[in-house]
Amino acid sequence: MPDAIAETLHELIVATRILANEKILDAFGHVSVRHPHDPQRYFIPRHRAPELAGVSDLVELTLDSKPVRPTEFRLYSEKVIHGEIYKARPDVNAVVHHHAHTVLPFAISGREIVPVFHLAAVVGHVPFWDQRDEFGDTNMLVVKPEEGASLARTLGPNWMVLMRRHGATVAGTSIRELVFRTVFGSDNCKLLAQAMAMGHVDSLSPGEAKLTSAHQQRPPSTNRAWDYWVRQIEKAGLMPAAAKAKATNKRTAAPAKRAAPKPAKKTAAKSRSKKRR
């Protein structure tokens, strides 16, 4: 496996564990990443609770959300969310769909999400998508390509879309940017709800949001936050096993054993001495 792909897949699992540790993913939800060498493919874990996913659980799919190679794994029924967004947005390289409880009140009430502190400027404008508008009564899952395409159209050029009575989907140009936007977007919803309960909301101006967003999406900011969240999952015992194994091998590898010294050869003088005895 090429190093670039291995690093991307490891980072995808780290991101999944981070979002689980931050209470954005629970038993449900999923994160994906576009193939680093083939933009017509993406990787996503098999059908299981996000916190339990490992690199061995990842499946490579086409943008039609079909497995590139036959697999016995059960796949997420809502994988088309990812495939259709990747089709519509060549600039998107990572996607998460979640049902964070901080965000759900806005998906239920229809109240607009606005950035109320600087780190949430990366959320931008958040449109609403109501599956019922185009597809009537459904089981609330986005399982058909046309449903995923409809969601992608509503997302448009934005980075987050609210799904009525369901949850949210967030996009990013990289895994780290995606995690940054998702975590601080969730924090923003919590703070926004608290401010609304107090009776007054003072949100960022469009100019503040634009300038702050550009600053926060720079690597110094996203990497600093990423390092912090990685430390949190290390402390929680959630760091992916493969990464732990590498670190452990470096620290605990036993030193090479030295060959036992060979017994010294008897000299002729010693041999004659023994014969005299």
Q: Which residues are catalytic?
A: 78
- Report the alpha-carbon distance of residue 225 to residue 175 in Å, rounded: 12
Residue identified by tokens 């916190």 is 51
Name the token pair of 46. 């098999």
- Going from the C-alpha of 111 to that of each of 80, 102, 189, 233, 245, the distances in angstroms are 27, 13, 11, 32, 46
Q: Rounded to the nearest 5 degrees, what angle is found at the Cα of 211, between the Cα atoms of 208 and 161?
A: 80
Q: Phi then psi for 12, rounded to 5 degrees?
A: -60, -45
Q: Phi then psi for 15, rounded to 5 degrees?
A: -60, -40
Give the number of other CB atoms < 10 A from CB of residue 171: 25
Q: Which residues pair with 61 in a beta bridge?
A: 42, 67
Residue identified by tokens 């503040």 is 208
Closest listed residue to residue 187, CA positions, set 273, 116, 277, 96: 116
Amino acid at 23: K
- Report the alpha-carbon distance of residue 66 to residue 73 in Å, rounded: 12
Name the token pair of 229. 């969240």
3-state secondary structure of 5: helix
- Report the alpha-carbon distance of residue 125 to residue 5 in Å, rounded: 32
Name the token pair of 266. 């008897």
